[in-house]
Structure 1
Amino acid sequence: MESKPRKITEAQKRAHQNYMEKFVEVKVRMTPERRAEIQAHAKEMGESATAFINRAIDEAMERDQAEGKKHPPQ
């Protein structure tokens, strides 16, 4: 059974646009195999790949701070 495409209202489009304005996109280059590995791991953890990547970044930053590491001056 085929499902019909969901119609999106103008209000939904505006709400989505307002939501997305709060974020920026960051591109990361990796092999397709690495991407699949990350996606599979995130799924096993019950989270999206984006949520997993953000969690990994947060944990690395917390660990670095706890170890007294400082970022180099820019």
Structure 2
Amino acid sequence: MSPATKAQQKAVAKYMKDNYDELKVRVPKGAKERIQSHAEKHDESLNGFVTRAITETMERDGSASESK
């Protein structure tokens, strides 16, 4: 696979900015690897697992959630 061109990188950055919010999560040392391993065991990406965990917790807690 060849590296992305500057134009491709710019297009991806614009798409991400227009369609996603970023959220930085800090966890204790070692926790990231445990979370990543759990996600992989369930055939999920780290991002997918964290998003699902947050959404399911909000639904359980009765908070309104907006999903795309």
Identical positions, percent = 40
Paired residue secondary structure (1:46): coil
Aligned length: 63
Deviation at 1:16, TM superposition (A): 0.5
Deviation at 1:44, TM superposition (A): 0.6
Identify which of 46, 49, 53 aligns with 1:52: 49
1:10-47: CA deviation from partner (whole Å, max 9, x where unpaired): 43223201221122221211122111110000001111
Bigger CA radius of gyration: 1
Q: Is residue 6 of structure 2 the alignment partner of residue 13 of structure 1? A: no
Aligned counterparts of 2:51 and 2:26: Cα–Cα separation in 1: 16
What TM-score, normalized by structure 2, do the two folds share? 0.75
Unpaired segments ≥5 residues, structure 1: 70-74
What TM-score, normalized by structure 1, do the two folds share? 0.70
Runs of 4+, deviation exceeding 2 Å: none
- What RMSD in Å do the two structures reach over aligned CA positions? 2.1
Unpaired segments ≥5 residues, structure 2: 64-68
